[in-house]
Chains A and B, each alone.
Chain A
Amino acid sequence: MFSTLLFMDPVLNFTVFQVCIYLELDLVITDMGTQNIIWNVCKKYLTIGLVGITLTDRYAGVCPIRGSSMSPTFNPSLGSFTDDYVFLEKFCLDKYKFSHGDVVIFSSPTNYKERCVKRIVAMEGDYISNVNGASKVPEGHCWVEGDNSASSFDSRSFGPIPIGLIHGRVTHVIWPPQRMRKVDRRIRQDGLAF
């Protein structure tokens, strides 16, 4: 009697069929548990990613150096095949406190996607001598130059940069292992006019 009624009513029939499918799917999931495992793995990687991004954004990071504009300090010989990798700390970004001779990484003022590494030669308020005589570094800016002045695109071409562009301070060379060392603060005297 019941079955005939079921087959007579197409709508009811369809609903019962659907419920059966749902139940079956549910059974499959709980039986195999693969979905659960995948979800757990995803969650783990997501957590690692979040923590990693936060640490590299706020506290410290590693980045490769390309080109020879900082030549005696990084990438000393053109013949070496590997780039230097450096360790940069970002605690200085809290207060934006930098001093003369710090090696910093900043995004280029002419192309925001490019990162440059240079040494701070003069801070705000200092006088710097260039081709047009001495000029004052404006408030909130700093003057950056590469150690290898022969092949460096720096403040001598694009002028002083805002301190806000700086992303971190280089403290150590960490790769390749034979070049592992601390990057020291070096103050060049000849560039400063006063």
Chain B
Amino acid sequence: MSRFQQWAFIVKEALDKSFLVAKFFCAVHVTSTYLCSTALVYGPSMLPTFNLSGEIVLLESISTRYGKVDSGDVVIVRSPENPRKVITKRIIGMEGDSITYVVDPINSDRTETLVVPKGHIWVEGDNIYSSNDSRNFGPVPYGLLQGKVFWKIWPAGAFGSIGRRPQTVDPALKVVEELKNS
């Protein structure tokens, strides 16, 4: 009898512990989908803002859920070309905005202008010379947004908030705009 009691105690304890772990995972899931989570950003496409080797950032999903993001924000988007991948880009225009972009910045200054369709956003990397973004796959539906990046946490030297779009990032477009103004 005492052995049975011992076993019952052990089983009860194990169940309690596993339920606690399950609860913990549920809490983690809810926080990461509805409040904020972390992401590892790497690659050349956002170069002045994020470095090549990888940075860990905080992203929040409250503003994307309620449609509060605006152009200039850095967002994480589920790639329209491969749903298993997410990409980090900067929003250039929201629905209804008129966008001018350099089609092929390495070879020419040719620009194109278009209006972003309803329910879509236009995203581009900060380093337009090596970025696969809306210039290749067109405007992205808003539903693919995963979150807005607002804080860098690693490496420690880069700790801080994400700045606005740097001025020097788009020389080709700058030349075009100067020509237009003169």
Name A residues whose Cβ lies closer than 8 Å to a Cβ of B: 47, 50-51, 53-54, 57-58, 95-96, 106-112, 138-141, 161-166
Q: Is the CB of B143 within 8 A of A139?
A: no
A166 to B84, CA, bound (A): 12
Name B residues whose Cβ lies closer than 8 Å to a Cβ of A: 22-23, 25-27, 29-30, 33, 67, 78-84, 117-120, 137, 140-145
Please give the distance in Å from B103's CB to the nearest CB on chain A.
Answer: 18
Please give the distance in Å from B88's CB to the nearest CB on chain A.
Answer: 15
Q: Is the CB of B79 within 8 A of A112?
A: no
Q: Is the CB of B22 within 8 A of A161?
A: no
Please give the distance in Å from B89's CB to the nearest CB on chain A.
Answer: 14
Tell me what chain A mostly uses at the interface: helix, strand, loop, or mixed.
mixed
Sample of 17 A–B contacts (CB below 8 Å): A53-B29, A53-B30, A54-B25, A57-B29, A57-B33, A95-B84, A96-B84, A107-B141, A107-B143, A109-B120, A110-B117, A111-B119, A112-B145, A141-B80, A162-B80, A162-B144, A164-B80
A42 to B69, CA, bound (A): 33
Q: Is the CB of A164 within 8 A of B79?
A: yes
Q: A57-B33, A138-B137 given. 15 additional CB < 8 A pairs?
A: A50-B26, A50-B30, A51-B26, A96-B83, A96-B84, A108-B143, A110-B118, A112-B145, A138-B81, A140-B81, A161-B141, A162-B141, A163-B83, A164-B78, A164-B83
B22 surroundings in chain A (CB, below 8 A): 51
Q: Is the CB of A140 within 8 A of B23?
A: no
A164 to B79, CA, bound (A): 7
A164 surroundings in chain B (CB, below 8 A): 78-80, 83, 144
A63 to B8, CA, bound (A): 40
Q: Is the CB of B78 within 8 A of A162?
A: yes
A177 to B46, CA, bound (A): 53
A162 to B79, CA, bound (A): 8
B81 surroundings in chain A (CB, below 8 A): 138-140
A54 surroundings in chain B (CB, below 8 A): 25-26, 29-30
A166 to B137, CA, bound (A): 18
A140 partner, pick from B79, B143, B145, beta carbons under 8 A: B79
A110 surroundings in chain B (CB, below 8 A): 117-119, 141
